[in-house]
A and B are shown apart, each in its own frame.
Chain A
Amino acid sequence: MTDIEHEIEQPDERVPKRVIGTPAPGTSMLGDGGPAARDAEVAGVTYQDETKARKAEKIVALCFTITFLAAIAFIISYVVFQVGSPEKTAISNLALGGSLTLALLGLAVGIVVWVRQIMPKYSLIQERHPMVSDEDSREVVAETFLQGAKESGFVKRPLLRRTLLLAAAPLGLIPLVLLRDLDNSKMPGAKFNETLRHTVWGEKTKEGKPLRLVVEGTGQPIRAADFNSPGGILSVVPEGYQHDLNALAKATLILIKFRPDEIKSGTNLNWTHDGIVAYSKICTHVGCPAALYEQTTHHILCPCHQSTFDAADGAKVIFGPAARPLPQLPITVDDQGYLIAKGDFAVPPGPSYWERGDAEAEARAKGGHA
């Protein structure tokens, strides 16, 4: 390809037609360093001992051959080993990864041996120059700047300058304004925090009945009489919302059954049913599900940052960074004996936010229990 380009680029009248096999005409940008110039001893360049270099050459060649073979092995492995199950994938991964690693490693080691044992040792010196430009250039630039500023009239014409700034200000706002609809909920910003205050537990089913508590995963409603596992906890979600992640992010509960004498004053007894207490599972720290329960101590533990709550005493914080207890959900049973929500949480569940305020005080003021 290059040959042909050369033929085309060379004007015939200036350079005689080339004979095939002779060096290309014209000087090359890479210089014409003849053998004499190249082999001359340059200070700071120490050539390696030839016998050592010859030995190293063989090692390098071996490394490159390994890479060649490993790369071929990779391609063969790709064809031979299929995926589709964890076991097959494991074998394929081992074959592909192993051959790829070996191929890369072979090339890397080869080049390193090449550089260290065959190329000369260098101790070349280059001058540094201060980064600062010389005084003359700086002056020229300063003068040019002033001249340009003068020519543009930017300084002399204040009306121009001020209206330009005026024009630029709203233009810069446009990208920000365009981001407003990042929020898809189509509600005014002031309503954001009100949404956070409510969960689906405050809603009713289509028949107008309160939502039942159902077991997370199976969706089974819970008959209060059957839930008799003192010491255990159950992860519970609202009926009809098992796959609504937005609802679950606020409404998931843990259900614990106590003997009556175990419950302390922090827990609102009116909101329990027969020793069964429901707390929000969403940690009041940053919102991880507080999923661990130690039955001997009644401690609920959040695995993310280890906030610990006393389930027997209104889930108040006894350790860790969470500042507020897990809110308790008022529960009771319907006429069939299934656990239902009596209403929404008295205070917003989940992590704190600016507009949350002292929701507990508000709930108390309304005569409730927080």
Chain B
Amino acid sequence: MSSDLTSVPKGIAGPSNFLDERIGGANFLKRNLRKIFPDHWSFLLGEIALYAFILLLLTGTFLTFWFKPSMGEIAYNGSYAPLKGVMMSEAYASSLEISFDVRGGLLVRQMHHWAALLFVAGMMVHMLRVFFTGAYRKPRELNWLIGVLLLTLALVEGLTGYSLPDDLLSGAGLRITEGVAISLPLVGTYITFFLFGGEYPGEDIISRFYSLHILLIPGLILALVSAHLVLMWVQKHTQMPGKGRTNKNVVGAPFYPAFMAKAGAYTLFTFAVVAGLATFTQINPIWLFGPYTPADISAGSQPDWYMGFLEGSLRLMPSWEINLFGTSHAGTLPLSVIIPALVPLGLVMTGLALYPFLERWITGDHREHHVADRPRNNPHRTSIGMSAIVFYGVLWLLGANDELSANFQISLNWTTYAGRVLVFVLPALAYIITYRVCLGLQRSDSAVVSHGVESGVIKRLPHGEFIEIHTPPADDIEAHVRGKEAVPMLPVEADGAGIPPKGMRGPLGKLRARMSRAYGGEKIALDEGHGHGHGHEDEHAAIGSGEDRSLTH
């Protein structure tokens, strides 16, 4: 075995000196080389999105070398025999060229598409992790907002991307985009004519989407991702509750060498998974669809998965259309397009953006938080999150109702009728169930802390009763559980004269107080667990009952 280094090798010391004498990097590195990164599997979810984005930049650049963003019509003369001589746009012809006439072209094209799906998926699960653990709380609200913006941009980036090949499927997506844009009141026709350079489809949309897709939006995403990482670095990562972990420290592995190597390996894993998918799983076989024409479509047209919820909400909507003035020249409001296209997306994105601020308003919690919540310990937040997931999920599922109908032999119309009801009922149900599950889990935590864990040893007492001996939980588990903190609450109690505190008097104040009482407070105190089957007292801690016991237990 070779011996270890005793001094910095010349190859590294030389350039380092050169750099340090010019930019003074050692001051930065002294503080940051051993920066501590806490460890938890869920902290890796956002990294998937980051590495997928890097891969998107690499594969995307490769694709631009051959792709021609033009809608000029040519007769196909490539090597895919079934389409020989067919009139098509240069964009579609060059996409076929990448697929069949460039070595590795198909692989990179498929990697690009898979990485895009993974990019958005990574962002979404990362966002859910941040939401459910309350990692968006002060001081991280800004990074949360950047994240919401990134997700929005990623959706637009995806939409502009899958419209580029100009095959029949991508054209169907474009047509729906046009149908939605033109439905907007007052400005609809203007937006459409400006976007498409005239009437749909025109000859400009591919080249315009191309410059948005490869320059403007990725540039914005890159800038925001950098800001996202810098803020994360400066604020230091949150950590899960556990032994020795407090709001004032961060426990984990150093950036150099451990975290750096892990991040490198994780990048490679992400790349490998995408490469594996691109090798063994066909995605978007554009040559089967043929060139775009507004006169044709194939059944079972589906967008990429992240657009599925919009597709679902469009399918779900009843056929409402209003003519505001009853005249024949203005005032048409196609609600059957405007509502499903804008409301669910607006609801989800606005809700996400505002949540940290609403929560702070309701809890009155202005402290910094660096220890993540376990989702069960803030049951209302977790329930709201689950209900949003279910809302999104129902819409998403209904985006494929024709497939559901075909594969499971259900009446297509009934999938829609059921969806119209379920999109409201299931989120509410999810809320209630999640809330009960959270309280149940809190109760079991409290049982672990106050009674210990089952040891498997049965003991017979002198009077004949059998009991199982409980042993105290392991240190680290107990520390993890004891990291629980009651959800803060505003001082809402009325004083002796029955007058509520300042700021809780008007209608808005009263609402705030009521929400604070429901949202905040300790639902199940840790040290008064009763174990299974003895939770009768806890049953009073119902949703918004205002009977929740306070911290003092």
Contacts and interface: CB of A to CB of B under 8 A. Distances in A.
B107 A29 contact: no
A148 interface: no
Interface stretch (A150-158, A187-195, A221-229, A326-334): A187-195
A237 B294 CA distance: 11
A94 B281 CA distance: 10
B69 to A, nearest CB: 16
A248 interface: yes
Contacts of B26: 29
A317 B319 contact: yes
Contact of A321 (B25, B194, B252, B319): B319
Interface string B475-494: 00000000000000000000
Contacts of A32: 7-8
Given A30-B16, A122-B258, A96 B295 contact: no
B80 A304 contact: no
Contact of A291 (B4, B80, B280, B296): B296
B337 A321 contact: yes
Interface in B312-352: 314-321, 323, 325-334, 336-337, 340
Nearest to A122: B253
Contacts of A105: 268-269, 272, 276
A266 interface: no
A82, A100, A119, A185: most-surrounded residue (chain B CB, <10 A): A100
B200 A249 contact: yes
B17 interface: yes
A154 B412 CA distance: 67
Given A282-B294, A352-B183, A354-B331, A112 B262 contact: yes
A85 B16 CA distance: 52
Contacts of A82: 103
Given A128-B250, A306-B401, A356 B332 contact: yes
A252 to B, nearest CB: 4
Contacts of A252: 294-295
B362 to A, nearest CB: 22
A35 interface: yes
B330 A28 contact: no
Contacts of A114: 261
B105 A30 contact: no
B193 interface: yes
A78 B413 contact: no
Contacts of A26: 17
Interface in B3-51: 4, 6-8, 10-18, 20, 25-26, 29, 34-36
B182 A353 contact: yes
A179 B194 contact: yes
Contacts of B293: 245, 248
B185 interface: yes
- State the main secondary structure of chain A at its contact with B: mixed
A24 B14 contact: yes
Interface stretch (B144-152, B172-180, B213-221): B172-180
Contacts of A182: 194-195, 197
A126 B36 contact: yes
Interface in A281-333: 281-282, 285-289, 291-292, 303-307, 317, 319-324
A14 interface: no
B81 A249 contact: no
B544 interface: no
Interface string A175-201: 000010011110001001101100000
Interface stretch (A2-10, A159-167, A203-211, A337-345): A2-10
A30 B7 CA distance: 9
A325 B294 CA distance: 19
B503 interface: no
Contacts of A351: 178-179, 182-183, 334, 337
Nearest to A303: B299
Nearest to A2: B14
B8 A30 contact: yes
A357 B330 CA distance: 5
B531 interface: no
Contacts of A322: 319, 336
Interface string A67-108: 000000000001001111110010011101110110011011
Contacts of B331: 354, 357
A38 B452 CA distance: 42
B202 interface: yes
A352 B14 contact: no
Given A104-B275, A128-B236, A83 B332 contact: no
B176 A286 contact: yes
Given A286-B180, A317-B319, A122 B336 contact: no
B197 A184 contact: yes
Nearest to A359: B328
A196 B249 contact: no
B13, B183, B266: most-surrounded residue (chain A CB, <10 A): B13
A34 interface: yes
A121 to B, nearest CB: 8
A292 B36 contact: no
B475 to A, nearest CB: 13
Interface in B245-274: 247-254, 257-258, 261-262, 264-266, 268-269, 271-272
Contacts of B235: 131
Contacts of B321: 323-324, 352
Interface in B146-204: 172, 175-176, 178-180, 182-190, 192-195, 197-202, 204
B188 A353 contact: yes
A235 interface: yes
B300 A130 contact: no
Nearest to B288: A86
A269 to B, nearest CB: 25
B60 interface: no
A304 B172 contact: yes
A354 B185 contact: yes
A361 interface: yes
Nearest to A123: B251
B107 A93 contact: yes
Given A29-B26, A184-B202, A303 B8 contact: no
Contacts of A196: 189, 199
B454 interface: no
Contact of B261 (A100, A115, A235, A356): A115
A235 B298 CA distance: 13
Given A84-B101, A291-B297, A354-B332, A321 B279 contact: no
9 contacts: A5-B14, A9-B18, A29-B17, A85-B80, A123-B252, A216-B296, A304-B172, A351-B182, A354-B331
Q: What 5 pairs across the A-B complex have the smallest Cβ distances?
A: A286-B179, A97-B279, A2-B14, A323-B321, A362-B328
Interface of A: 1-3, 5-6, 9, 23-24, 26, 28-32, 34-35, 38, 78, 81-86, 89, 92-94, 96-98, 100-101, 104-105, 107-112, 114-115, 119-120, 122-128, 130-131, 179, 182-185, 189, 192-193, 195-196, 216, 235, 237, 243, 245-246, 248-250, 252, 281-282, 285-289, 291-292, 303-307, 317, 319-324, 350-359, 361-362
Given A320-B315, A354-B330, A357-B327, 7 more contacts: A85-B81, A183-B193, A285-B179, A287-B175, A303-B299, A321-B340, A350-B179
